[in-house]
Structure 1
Amino acid sequence: MVNRAKIKELLNESACSHSKDKKPGEGCDKPKPGLAAGGCAFDGAQISLFPYADAVHLVHGPQTCLGASWETRETLSSYEGRDHTVMGFTTGIRTNDVIFGGDKRLADSIDFIMKEYAPEAIFVYSTCVTALVGDDIDMTCKLGSEKHGVPIVPVHAPGFVGGKNLGSRLAGEAVLEHLIGTKEPEFTTPYDINLIGDYNVTGDMWQYLPILDKIGIRVLSSMSGDGRVGSIRTAHRAKLNVIVCAKSLITLCRKMKEQYDIPWISVSFYGKRDTAFAIREIVNALGDEKLIAKAEEVLAEEEEKLEARLKPYKEMFAGKKAVLNTGGNKAWSIASGLQDLGIEVVATSIRKSTADDIEKAKEYLGPDGILMKAPASEQSKVIDEKGAHILLAGGRSLYTAIKKKISFIDVNQEKKVSYGGFEGLLNLAEDLKSAFNNPVFANVSKKAPWETVSMEAE
């Protein structure tokens, strides 16, 4: 069941850089009325764990909870076995289960899944209804795990406890308690790392993993993009945890430092500068002089090739200005990529950003950059004031771009192309080129021919 002490602990994360400025009882993700409207804790937990394609994700609740959350992001996987995420699994509790309890239905569902699908693990998500009813999913999962010999992990993230950020932290707690440290790797190397918080949306991880591999760095496990349950169980043997943007999982890294003495760093792989900086941070943290030298050699080679391919795009984008309205770390990470392409970022949204993200956004945009706290109401005015040529945002902001007759790119999780790493920067450049050359944005707001004729007649 939902543990209030656990929730309180996660809402007052000591590893957050701004914790020292908080008053007692204040947290970095304290629930507020209406917070779950932008995605509840259950959504956040599923987003963080769903990329495990070798596990079944079982929603213990009404069918509508599954329908509202299943496949919300295009998290790509190279898993060669049966990809269980292409199906949605739910206990589909009914009125009788609410009255008499849904534990029996959950146990039967686990038995059915193991018989028909035989996954490497099952994640069981509590929802608002089953949490309020008081179903003991911990005991049911424990008995099921003993019966079938695979990890069956209870995830206590019902929607009413808070927003997506808290849900991600609760997912990290479940993985730390039930998976990490339960299996030994076949072998280890001095350069084993865990990637934390990259969900491989549209294949972002696959853009920079080849560079890490070329340097000699091995990704032991991922939480959770293109991840495997067997690998995350061995994560306690890594030499370094690398948080890729998702600061919601900082608690997991802090606790792994305390339990397994694994240091952690936080990086971004968006844009040329940040990708190179991230790689240097990783090798410096691993502390091997030969590895550091190899990284510099590989980076010099990769950056030289990239710069030659970027040159025509930079010439094309000279003088262009952009407004960025997206969430969290992308407030500055995508801004970095745009600046690498020669585009001036005049404003970015910080509505869903952490204190660290806001500081970085200030640094990247400079003293004249605008940090939008309420982008939905601000972005239209900012576009006019700054003379922006393009808006990069989620799909709901398309109409603002059309109204203002400027170009538009969807850069949220609905995007279809990766912008991560060096190759991803070229993908972003190509999308920008297409957007600037798209005649739709110039023509869509023009008056219809008959409207023009009627006005001239008057």
Structure 2
Amino acid sequence: MSLLRAKIQDVFNEPACEKNRGKDAKARKKGCSKPLTPGAAAGGCAFDGAKIVLQPITDVAHLIHAPLACEGNSWDNRGAASSGPTLWRTSFTTDLTELDVVMGQGERKLFKAIREIKEGYGPPAIFVYPTCVTALIGDDIEAVCKRAAEKFGLPVVPVNAPGFVGSKNLGNKLAGEALLEHVIGTVEPEEAGPYDINILGEFNLSGEFWLVKPLLDRLGIRVRACIPGDARYFDIACAHRARAAMMVCSTALINLARKMEQRWDIPFFEGSFYGITDTSEALRQISQLLVKKGADPEILGRTEALIAEEEAIAWKKLAAYRPRLEGKRVLLNTGGVKSWSVVHALMEIGIEIVGTSVKKSTVEDKERIKQILKDDNHIFEQMAPRELYAMLSEHKADIMLSGGRTQFIALKAKTPWLDINQERQHPYAGYDGMVELVRQIDLAIHNPIWCQVREPAPWDCQPAVREGLPRTKSETATLHAVQEFAGTTAGDLSEC
């Protein structure tokens, strides 16, 4: 536990974080997250954050050393996609019971589970995650993992991020520390070239990275490791031989990027693949960093040619949507890198941003939003569900982009909604992804269902009576049913 405390303090004291550098020594020790409420950490604890970062490593066996419910609450909580191995889709847990805890059988059961996975699946590595229960009873997973690695001849990586130590974001960073300590730099690649890069904080949600990788391939740039989206264990183990890196989500793995720069001289920048302008700028910065590290400067010209070609194609496709979407108002209830990158992307085609959340956004993210919107009134740290509903029901926005947790607020307000977070079904990165995002917004806003659901309910209306003619049996039955349901008489009902 003392080693874990030291890691946590190291993560809190993050030199690459502008917000952290602005604090005094006492405030820095507390970190950036609010304390967790006991019993209310599901979906937002450090263990959940570690699983989010590491589970998309597709050929690794992820073993949860805990009671069954811990794995049940965390398994497959992101829409990451794999182009090959499917082992990461298999759930492994030691399934500790009360008897195991009382009798001290946790470590023995963990060693047995590692052996069974090795014999039954033959993975290149096994990642072991303790949770609150096994951390509190004192199971030494690092010792067990070390012994198992020696016995079975494969890497067994302890990921020390039990839920009670802090927030999901802290778990993201502790996962990065586990990769640095046990994985990255442990294998030498067969070849390393001047055009090798790492992509950090990219999760390949709905296969988004597959829309970006072909652009890099056309430039002759090889992605040594995409961490963690569609990753392989040996690719990550060789990631220390990359020449440059791009950080997509700095709140998750800024510590990993900084320490890789310190240890292996891999410079990095923070960028985004959301939107046409930001995708183009990301490609430029990747090429510029590679040139600084010794690549042939001719790549700069090839990059500009590729950007010009792809932008022309994308803008031609978007031209069809501009008349239908220009002036439409969007409310963004998301966070992190999407809080500014999606804003910029939508404004490029004339969509108005009436508000964007900056929850989980860094200081740099917030500064970018201010530069884009030119108005702090459209920025909110967090909006209560009641306020979101009031804003939507008053028709201050034509559509809300958010995660699944707030979709029902929009639906209750009879407002179009589009999933922009990790559960989404469509990829929105790169040039083609931007076109897809705009297409989905257009489909949502102009879906004919909204005209229907906004109509008055049948029991709020009196059925139309044909002037000068008696009611038919059907009209009479309908009117009686409405009266009975509403508890009114015909005279109480108004015409609609």
> Secondary structure in 2 aligned to 1:196?
strand
Whether the 8 Å CA contact 1:91–1:105 is kept in 2: the answer is: yes
Alignment match, 2:167: 163
C-alpha distance in structure 1 between counterparts of 2:290 and 2:33, whole Å: 35
SS in 2 for 1:323: strand
- Which residue does the alignment assign to 1:119? 123
Instruction: Summarize deviations over 1:337-381 as a string: whole Å, max 9, x none.
Output: 211232111210112222222222222222165112222343334
Partner secondary structure for residue 197 of structure 1 = strand
CA deviation string 1:214-239 (max 9, x = no partner): 11111011211010001111111110
Equivalent pair of 2:43/2:74 in contact (CA under 8 Å)? no
Question: How high is the TM-score relative to the length of structure 2?
Answer: 0.88
Letter in 2 for 1:166: L
Equivalent position of 2:350 in the other structure: 342
Match of 1:257 in 2: 261
Corresponding position of 1:64: 69
Question: What SS is found at the alignment partner of 1:391?
Answer: strand
Match of 1:436 in 2: 445
Alignment RMSD, CA only?
1.8
Larger-gyration structure (1/2) = 2
Tell me the equivalent position of 1:134.
Answer: 138
What is the distance in 1 between the residues matched to 2:402 and 2:201? 21
Say if 1:194 and 1:222, in contact at 8 Å, map to a contact too: yes
- The residue correspondences of 1:280-319 to structure 2 (distance < 5 A) are 280-287=284-291, 288-319=296-327
Deviation of residue 101 (structure 1)? 4.3
Give 2:47's match in structure 1, choosing from 33, 38, 42.
Answer: 42
Instruction: Note the C-alpha offset of 1:307.
Output: 1.0
**Quick check: 26-35 or 194-203, which moved more?**
26-35
Partners in 2 of 1:244 and 1:279 — Cα distance? 13
* Equivalent of 1:325 in 325, 333, 337: 333
Match of residue 87, structure 1, among 87, 90, 97: 90
- Match of 2:147, SS state, is helix
Q: Please report how far the alpha carbon of residue 382 of structure 1 lies from its aligned counterpart in structure 2 after TM superposition.
A: 4.1
Whole-Å separation in 2 of the counterparts to 1:73 and 1:181: 27
**CA deviation after TM superposition for structure 1 residue 386, in Å:** 7.8
Residue correspondence of structure 1 range 184-263 to structure 2 within 5 A: 184-263=188-267
Q: Is the 8 A contact 1:12 1:26 kept in 2?
A: no
**In the comparison of the two structures, how many residue pairs are matched?**
456
The separation in 1 between residues aligned to 2:49 and 2:243, in whole angstroms, is: 27
SS of alignment partner, residue 379 of structure 2 = strand
Amino acid at match of 1:200: N
Per-residue deviation, 1:98: 1.6
How much does 1:445 deviate? 4.0
Secondary structure of 2:27's aligned partner: coil
| TM-score, length of structure 1 as denominator length | 0.95
| One-letter identity of the residue aligned with 2:416 | S
Counterpart contact for 1:346–1:368, Cα < 8 Å: no
Q: 1:368-408: CA deviations, max 9, x gaps?
A: 65112222343334447783211111223333323443321
2 CA distance for matches of 1:51 and 1:403?
34
Deviates more, 1:396-405 or 1:84-93: 396-405
Deviations 1:310-347 (A, max 9, x none): 11111211111111001222111211221123211121
Matches of 2:56 and 2:355, distance apart in 1:
32
Gaps of 5+ in 2: 463-491
1:3 counterpart residue number = 4
What secondary structure does 2:64 align onto? strand
The answer (yes or no) to whether the contact 1:402–1:441 under 8 Å persists in 2 is no
- Pick one of 386, 403, 407 that aligns with 2:416: 407
The aligned residue for residue 351 of structure 1 is: 359
Whole-angstrom distance in 1 between the partners of 2:41 and 2:454: 35
What is the CA–CA distance in structure 1 between the aligned matches of 2:393 and 2:95, rounded to whole Å? 50
Secondary structure of 2:340's counterpart equals: helix
Structure 2 residue aligned with 1:390: 399
Give deviations 1:200-226, integer Å, cap 9, x for gaps: 010111111111111111101121101
Give the equivalent residue in structure 1 for 2:487.
none
Give the structure 1 partner of residue 156 of structure 2.
152
Gaps of 5+ in 1: none
Partner AA of 2:415 in structure 1: I
Matched residue SS, 2:188: coil
